[in-house]
Amino acid sequence: MRLFAMLIACLALAAQASQEYRLQPREIASDTWLLEGSTDNFDKTNGGNIVNTGFIVTDAGVVVVDSGPSRAYGESMRKAIARVTDKPVVWVLLTHHHPDHVLGNQAFADVPIAALAGTRDLLAEQGDAMAENMYRLVGDWMRGTEVLLPTERVQPGIRELGGHRFRMLGLRGHTGADLAILDETTGVLFAGDLVFYQRALTTPNSPGLDAWLADLDQLERLPWKQVVPGHGPVSTDRAPFAQMRDYLGWLDGLLRDAAEQGEEMNEVIRAPIPVRFAAVSLNRYELIRTVSHLYPRYEAQRLHRVDSAAAE
């Protein structure tokens, strides 16, 4: 009996060990470190580590950009930061409210966590449901994770801290409340999920593809040297912006044409994926989701209401 109990304990420890994120910071610019996630979907093998997070070591302390998908991720992030510097974390910036970017907040409960006002409102409204869904998707990786709301409101504009000059941009294309951060000192642009690269974009809270395209125009005009997408590889050229514009333009044309032809949703989700997007991760999966999120709006814009006509 004792041997059996020891065996169970060993198996439990082995399982727990296999659920360590083992984050490896990579320096992409002076004092600027990236924790790069995969471009896969959430599952129980990756623990939701599909997101790019980062941190900047300033003279005044460490600035963190997004806290990751779980409490355990946030704790692993703090350990990774401690391997790089002995300076304290002094500020956490959240780019938006989606779970893979904010559910590590508990690990940073001792420091200011800042976000746009709209991000805080969306997280307060949707956070518990998103966390429950993450528990279903990745299981024990989420153990102990609860929603922790931001404690500070970010105002768009310039913030200087520890020898770094941060430009905060309040945008809206991805969720309606999207923070992009340009470190003007290094030229690194943390674009959040306004930029996906080599990974299909997600649209559950987008106010519209036109708003997203306008945001991309604003971001691309900034004096950046490197772009850190919310998902996908870092780039020093304009390829992520070109791919995003191309992809959004294709989506808009697909949904617009389908609505004009009166196609049903189940027809639109089977539309061919252009060859140029064949290597973009999760292209079919995200097309199905995008059609469910956005196609009803295109239909509503195209179809004339019978009851409105009768009332005229």
In a domain, 207, yes or no: yes
What is the average per-residue pLDDT within 251-262?
A: 97
Nearest alpha-carbon partner for 116 in 51, 74, 71, 169: 169
CATH of the domain at 55: 3.60.15.10
Calpha distance 202→209 (Å, rounded): 11
What confidence tier does 4 reach under pLDDT thresholds 50, 70, 90? very low
Give residue 18's pLDDT: 60
Calpha distance 104→95 (Å, rounded): 13
What is the average per-residue pLDDT within 176-192?
A: 98
What is the average per-residue pLDDT within 111-127?
A: 98
Look at residue 160 and tell me whether its pLDDT is greater than 80. yes
Calpha distance 203→116 (Å, rounded): 19
What confidence tier does 233 reach under pLDDT thresholds 50, 70, 90? very high
Look at residue 192 and tell me whether its pLDDT is greater than 60. yes
Give residue 8's pLDDT: 37
In a domain, 288, yes or no: no
Q: Tell me, what amino acid is at 84?
A: V
Give residue 135's pLDDT: 97
What is the average per-residue pLDDT within 121-130?
A: 98
In a domain, 86, yes or no: yes
Look at residue 97 and tell me whether its pLDDT is greater than 80. yes
More confident residue, 161 or 17: 161
Q: What percent of the chain has pLDDT over 90?
A: 90
What confidence tier does 262 reach under pLDDT thresholds 50, 70, 90? very high
Calpha distance 285→288 (Å, rounded): 5
Query: Which two tokens mark 19?
Result: 């659920």
Calpha distance 164→181 (Å, rounded): 12
Total domains, the chain: 1
In a domain, 265, yes or no: no
Give residue 234's pLDDT: 98
In a domain, 185, yes or no: yes
What is the average per-residue pLDDT within 188-198?
A: 98
Give residue 19's pLDDT: 78
What confidence tier does 302 reach under pLDDT thresholds 50, 70, 90? confident
In a domain, 114, yes or no: yes
**For 42-91, what is each residue's pLDDT tens digit?**
999 999 999 999 999 999 999 999 999 999 999 999 999 999 999 999 99
Look at residue 7 and tell me whether its pLDDT is greater than 50. no
**For 271-288, what is each residue's pLDDT tens digit?**
999 999 999 999 999 999
Give residue 57's pLDDT: 98
Q: Supply the range of the domain harboring residue 27.
A: 18-238
Give residue 308's pLDDT: 47
Look at residue 3 and tell me whether its pLDDT is greater than 60. no
In a domain, 286, yes or no: no
Mean pLDDT of the chain: 93
Q: Tell me, what amino acid is at 24?
A: Q
In a domain, 145, yes or no: yes
CB 88 within 8 A of CB 62: yes
